[in-house]
Amino acid sequence: MKNGEVLQVVRLIESYVFRRSICNIPTNSLNKTFASLAKSLNKEFYLESLQAQFLLMSSYRRFPRNGEFLREIQIRDVYNFGRRSYFLRKLENYGRKETVNIGEYSIEHIMPQNKNSLSNGKRN
Protein backbone atom coordinates (compact mmCIF):
# COMPACT_ATOMS: atom_id res chain seq x y z
CA MET A 1 0.00 0.00 0.00
CA LYS A 2 1.05 3.55 -0.65
CA ASN A 3 1.90 5.95 2.18
CA GLY A 4 -1.16 7.08 4.08
CA GLU A 5 -3.43 4.45 2.56
CA VAL A 6 -3.49 2.21 5.60
CA LEU A 7 -5.43 4.77 7.63
CA GLN A 8 -7.84 5.38 4.74
CA VAL A 9 -8.43 1.64 4.35
CA VAL A 10 -9.09 1.24 8.08
CA ARG A 11 -11.51 4.18 8.06
CA LEU A 12 -13.33 2.81 5.03
CA ILE A 13 -13.74 -0.62 6.65
CA GLU A 14 -14.80 1.04 9.90
CA SER A 15 -17.40 3.06 8.00
CA TYR A 16 -18.65 -0.08 6.24
CA VAL A 17 -19.18 -1.99 9.49
CA PHE A 18 -20.66 0.97 11.36
CA ARG A 19 -23.06 2.01 8.59
CA ARG A 20 -24.28 -1.57 8.31
CA SER A 21 -24.87 -1.63 12.03
CA ILE A 22 -26.87 1.62 12.00
CA CYS A 23 -28.86 0.35 9.00
CA ASN A 24 -29.56 -2.89 10.88
CA ILE A 25 -27.97 -5.10 8.21
CA PRO A 26 -27.09 -8.49 9.74
CA THR A 27 -23.41 -9.00 10.49
CA ASN A 28 -23.42 -12.81 10.40
CA SER A 29 -21.88 -12.84 6.92
CA LEU A 30 -19.00 -10.42 7.50
CA ASN A 31 -16.35 -13.16 7.84
CA LYS A 32 -17.24 -14.55 4.41
CA THR A 33 -17.57 -11.05 2.97
CA PHE A 34 -14.09 -10.00 4.09
CA ALA A 35 -12.54 -13.32 3.03
CA SER A 36 -13.89 -13.02 -0.51
CA LEU A 37 -13.13 -9.31 -0.58
CA ALA A 38 -9.46 -9.89 0.25
CA LYS A 39 -9.12 -12.25 -2.72
CA SER A 40 -10.57 -9.75 -5.17
CA LEU A 41 -8.44 -6.70 -4.32
CA ASN A 42 -5.73 -5.35 -6.60
CA LYS A 43 -2.63 -5.13 -4.41
CA GLU A 44 -1.16 -2.28 -6.48
CA PHE A 45 -4.29 -0.16 -6.12
CA TYR A 46 -5.50 -1.46 -2.79
CA LEU A 47 -7.59 1.51 -1.63
CA GLU A 48 -9.16 2.13 -5.03
CA SER A 49 -10.03 -1.51 -5.54
CA LEU A 50 -11.50 -1.75 -2.02
CA GLN A 51 -13.68 1.29 -2.72
CA ALA A 52 -14.80 -0.23 -6.02
CA GLN A 53 -15.59 -3.60 -4.44
CA PHE A 54 -17.65 -1.95 -1.70
CA LEU A 55 -19.63 -0.05 -4.34
CA LEU A 56 -20.31 -3.26 -6.27
CA MET A 57 -21.66 -5.20 -3.29
CA SER A 58 -25.41 -5.63 -3.17
CA SER A 59 -28.12 -7.08 -0.99
CA TYR A 60 -27.00 -8.10 2.51
CA ARG A 61 -23.34 -7.33 1.67
CA ARG A 62 -23.99 -3.78 0.49
CA PHE A 63 -22.21 -0.67 1.73
CA PRO A 64 -25.09 1.59 2.85
CA ARG A 65 -25.13 4.74 0.74
CA ASN A 66 -25.39 8.18 2.32
CA GLY A 67 -29.16 8.46 1.80
CA GLU A 68 -29.90 5.15 3.49
CA PHE A 69 -27.48 5.87 6.33
CA LEU A 70 -28.83 9.39 6.98
CA ARG A 71 -32.41 8.13 6.95
CA GLU A 72 -31.63 5.31 9.38
CA ILE A 73 -29.50 7.36 11.78
CA GLN A 74 -32.44 9.74 12.25
CA ILE A 75 -34.82 6.97 13.29
CA ARG A 76 -32.40 4.58 15.01
CA ASP A 77 -32.73 4.26 18.80
CA VAL A 78 -29.18 5.39 19.57
CA TYR A 79 -29.90 5.51 23.29
CA ASN A 80 -30.28 1.72 23.39
CA PHE A 81 -27.85 1.05 20.53
CA GLY A 82 -25.26 -1.60 21.42
CA ARG A 83 -22.43 0.43 19.92
CA ARG A 84 -23.55 3.69 21.49
CA SER A 85 -20.18 4.45 23.12
CA TYR A 86 -18.37 4.03 19.81
CA PHE A 87 -20.90 6.23 18.03
CA LEU A 88 -20.75 8.98 20.66
CA ARG A 89 -16.93 8.93 20.80
CA LYS A 90 -16.73 9.33 17.02
CA LEU A 91 -19.37 12.05 16.99
CA GLU A 92 -17.79 14.07 19.81
CA ASN A 93 -14.26 13.79 18.44
CA TYR A 94 -15.04 14.41 14.78
CA GLY A 95 -12.81 17.20 13.46
CA ARG A 96 -10.93 17.70 16.74
CA LYS A 97 -7.16 17.73 16.88
CA GLU A 98 -7.10 16.29 20.40
CA THR A 99 -9.25 13.35 21.42
CA VAL A 100 -11.80 13.94 24.17
CA ASN A 101 -12.30 11.09 26.64
CA ILE A 102 -16.04 10.62 26.88
CA GLY A 103 -15.93 7.85 29.48
CA GLU A 104 -17.75 10.00 32.03
CA TYR A 105 -20.29 11.37 29.56
CA SER A 106 -23.89 10.37 29.34
CA ILE A 107 -25.66 10.47 26.00
CA GLU A 108 -27.21 13.82 26.95
CA HIS A 109 -23.74 15.43 27.08
CA ILE A 110 -23.35 14.85 23.35
CA MET A 111 -26.75 14.37 21.76
CA PRO A 112 -29.44 17.02 22.18
CA GLN A 113 -32.40 16.10 24.35
CA ASN A 114 -34.77 17.28 21.64
CA LYS A 115 -34.55 17.92 17.92
CA ASN A 116 -35.02 21.67 18.40
CA SER A 117 -31.58 21.83 20.04
CA LEU A 118 -30.02 21.30 16.64
CA SER A 119 -29.40 24.20 14.33
CA ASN A 120 -28.98 23.23 10.66
CA GLY A 121 -27.81 19.76 11.70
CA LYS A 122 -25.00 21.04 13.91
CA ARG A 123 -24.60 20.85 17.67
CA ASN A 124 -25.01 24.10 19.64
Q: Are residues 10 and 60 in the same domain?
A: yes
Whether residue 30 contacts residue 17, with contact meaning beta carbons closer than 8 Å, is answered with: yes
84 and 60, same structural domain?
A: no
Domain end residue (candidates: 48, 69, 90): 69
DSSP assigned state of 118: -
What's the rounded mean pLDDT across residues 2-26? 90
Same domain, 89 and 52: no
| Residue 40 domain flag | yes
Reported as a single tens digit per residue, the pLDDT across 55-80 is: 999 999 999 999 999 999 888 887 77
Alpha helix segments (H runs only) across 29-83: 30-40, 46-56, 66-75
Give the whole-angstrom CA distance, residue 6 versus residue 17. Answer: 17
Beta-bridge partner residues of 122: 119
Residue 37 domain-assigned (yes or no):
yes
Please report whether residue 120 resides in a domain. Answer: no
38 occurs within a structural domain? yes
In a domain, 28, yes or no: yes
Is 24 among the domain residues? yes
Q: Domain span at residue 99? A: 77-115
Same domain, 29 and 85: no
Last residue of one domain, picked from the residues 53, 69, 85: 69
Tell whether 123 is covered by a domain: no
pLDDT value, residue 123: 45
* Residue 102: per-residue pLDDT: 74
Distance of CA 48 to the CA centre of its chain: 18
User: Would you say 31 and 70 are in contact if contact means Cβ atoms under 8 Å apart?
Assistant: no
What's the total number of domains in the chain?
2
Q: Do 54 and 12 share a domain, yes or no? A: yes
Average pLDDT, the chain: 82
Q: What is the pLDDT of residues 37-55, one digit of tens each?
A: 989 999 899 999 999 999 9
State in Å, rounded, how far the first CA of the chain is from the last one.
40
**Residue 45, burial from CB neighbour count under 10 angstroms (0-12, 13-18, 19+):** middle
